[in-house]
Amino acid sequence: MTPDNPASPVLSQDEPLALYVHWPFCVSKCPYCDFNSHVRETVDQARWRDALLLDLAHEVAALPGRRLGSIFFGGGTPSLMPPETVAAIIDAAAAAWTPVPDLEITLEANPSSVEAARFADLAAAGVNRVSLGLQALDDCALHFLGRAHDVAEGLGALDTAQRAFARVSFDLIYARPDQPIDAWQAELRRALAFGTEHLSLYQLTIEPGTRFATEAAASRLVIPDADAAADLFELTRAITADAGIPAYEVSNHARPGAESRHNLAYWRYRDYAGIGPGAHGRRGNLATQRRRKPENWLNAVDRNRHGIELEEPLTPATRASEALLMGLRLAEGVDLSRITRRTGLPIDALIDRRAVQQLPDLIRLNGDHLTVTDAGMLLLDAILPRVVRADEAAA
């Protein structure tokens, strides 16, 4: 098989593989959250550990001989996982694949004092990067967002995390109802003063199926309009850039070299394995998806020794579209020649050059390299349908 055969491209064996592990359980469901998260009174920890290891073994068999570049424990609330389970998965993955020397192992955590008490044990298990869901530095905002912690508890967890882990990131949600721009400016500057290497800064959006969606439909919840949200977005990028933590992706900011390597694997459209309920994966031209409901996934693993619900080949046009839609979120942009090598599609089948030329302030083509400008990032959802031609072919 050769890259010139678009139906069966060579896998990128030279690029490290990313592993995503989904832990679906939370103490409570946040009103803005549309992630695959569930509240259960009890969890059979031994059964779940064994099932995750079986699901992992299936991916190892499908992706033999790979280098492992990152592991990401997401959820749900993976800081509720027993450290022994985390260690078992890390050890199994590192034994099956060849870890890169600077293997990044991230775990998402809630900033409760109960979960922070596990940080030392999670670090001992092998986790070297934590992503902390602070979400706000204002007690009223935290109550509105349905968070169980207050600011003091969150900052206590942040301090514990910074002592336990080599690398720390935390999330904030802005563009909240009635949030003045000067209040967000003060909150963001306070966040930057904590000295973490990475921040994930998300505008509040109303996602279908959430409690906030119900509130918005009844006109009980109104988020800032497009103009106000744009002002907040531009202010955010200016302040973080001035602090030396510029945006490297639409909502993610980092000191140079401190970017999330795992998430970069997604945005650069590299191969990744996903295990656990609802997890997705990409193996070259093959897409995988696990069963979403925890009990259904667990029963599937018992029957089949894996939790896959869907495994299907992706057309060259679909893969090209995905690579463009993901890669253009990055400040670095995309190398169109790489997508051509991976899919067999010529550049003119990937993008509309004329549309790019009509939007010089928003998106730029330099040789085979396509990037969205800072101004364009604000309008990314409107730009992509005009520029991405592969998206039309994939539809």
| 153-173 per-position pLDDT tens digit | 999 999 999 999 999 999 999
| 356-391 per-position pLDDT tens digit | 999 999 999 999 999 999 999 999 999 999 999 876
Q: How many angstroms separate the CA atoms of 373 and 379, rounded?
A: 10
Beta pairing, strands 252-254 & 198-203: antiparallel
Task: Give the domain ranges of the chain.
Answer: 17-267, 316-394
Strand partners, 351: 388
The one-letter amino acid code at 62 reads: A
Residue 85: the pLDDT is 97
Q: How many angstroms separate the CA atoms of 70 and 125, rounded?
A: 15
CATH T-level topology, domain 17-267 = TIM Barrel (3.20.20)
pLDDT band at 284 (very low <50, low <70, confident <90, very high): confident
| 18-38 per-position pLDDT tens digit | 999 999 998 888 888 878 888
Q: How many angstroms separate the CA atoms of 149 and 109, rounded?
A: 12
Q: What percent of the chain shows pLDDT beyond 90?
A: 86
Q: pTM for this one?
A: 0.93
Could you say which DSSP state residue 96 is in? H
The answer to whether residue 4 scores a pLDDT higher than 60 is no
Check: CB of residue 251 under 8 Å from CB of residue 333: no
Structure tokens, 36: 């695959």
Residue 13: the pLDDT is 66
| 95-152 per-position pLDDT tens digit | 999 999 999 999 999 998 778 899 999 999 999 999 999 999 999 999 999 998 999 9
CA 219 to chain centre: 30
| 177-204 per-position pLDDT tens digit | 999 999 999 999 999 999 999 999 999 9
Question: Is 194 in a helix, a strand, or coil?
Answer: coil
The one-letter amino acid code at 138 reads: D
Nearest to 10 by CA among 321, 268, 344: 344
Structure tokens, 48: 């779940």
CATH T-level topology, domain 316-394 = Arc Repressor Mutant, subunit A (1.10.10)
Tell me the C-alpha to C-alpha distance, in Å, between residue 152 and each of 113, 143, 165, 189, 339. 10, 13, 20, 17, 47
Strand partners, 127: none
